[in-house]
Amino acid sequence: MDITLNFTEKTLDSQTVYEGPIFTITHDIVQLRDGSRSTRDVLLHNGGVCVIPVTDNNEIYMVRQFRYPFRTVTLEVPAGKLEAGEDHSVCGRRELLEETGFVCSEFVYLGETYPTPAYNSEIVHMYLARGLEYKKQCLDEGEFLEVDKIPLSDAVKMVMNSEIKDSKTQLIILKAARILGI
């Protein structure tokens, strides 16, 4: 076997160092491909979903909300975390309704992304929502946000100018623009 092709690391020991309602952190000892040992701290997360709601006029609904780690308000697409074992399509539709008040007739899966693969197990699933119909926004307790409608072409410019900093939002905007020919 050619060792240069084997990048797998074998877990020798794993200890949970933090367990909370949103994620767990483990401290692992691993054996590297050359037989040496190293440590890996891993944030285990159930994952999440983000949705880009697009109108018939190629405008998108986005949310502004305060993000505590950065002490600033960010502009993002609607998103939320998956509950353990939850179907990501169900989660995406729920988050779309909760955060924007919209339901949709077309819900297209755009794939998944690993936001921080070096130490975080989170996978974010992405959806394009079309055929929007407003029902009623129903935010979670303690959730405060504002909904903005922005032309998709403007959102692409905002991504390229680093005005939108959230990675899942950047990616889904660029994917949607490519798919829709914007």
Query: What is the predicted pLDDT for the residue at 116?
Result: 94
How do residues 30-87 score in pLDDT, each as one tens digit? 999 999 999 999 999 999 999 999 999 999 999 999 999 999 999 999 999 999 999 9
Choosing from 76, 112, 133, 141, the catalytic residue is 141
The sign of the dihedral angle between the CA atoms of 85, 87, 91, 94 is negative
> For residues 84, 86, 87 and 88, what is the CA-based torsion angle, rounded to 10 degrees?
-70
| Cα–Cα distances in angstroms (integers) from residue 107 to residues 52, 92, 124, 150, 154, in the given order | 10, 9, 16, 20, 22
Range 2-9 average pLDDT:
70
Q: Which residue has the tokens 């975390």?
A: 81
**Position of tokens 């405060």?**
144
Rounded mean pLDDT of 132-161?
A: 94
Tokens, residue 96: 């779309």
The predicted model scores a pTM of 0.92
Q: Structural domain boundaries of the chain?
A: 3-45, 48-180
DSSP H or E run through 96 = helix 88-100
Edge-to-edge, what's the strand order for the sheet holding 79-81?
Answer: 79-81, 48-53, 124-134, 102-113
Active site residue 141: yes
Give phi and psi for 121, each to the nearest 5: -85, 0
The CATH number assigned to the domain with range 48-180 reads: 3.90.79.10
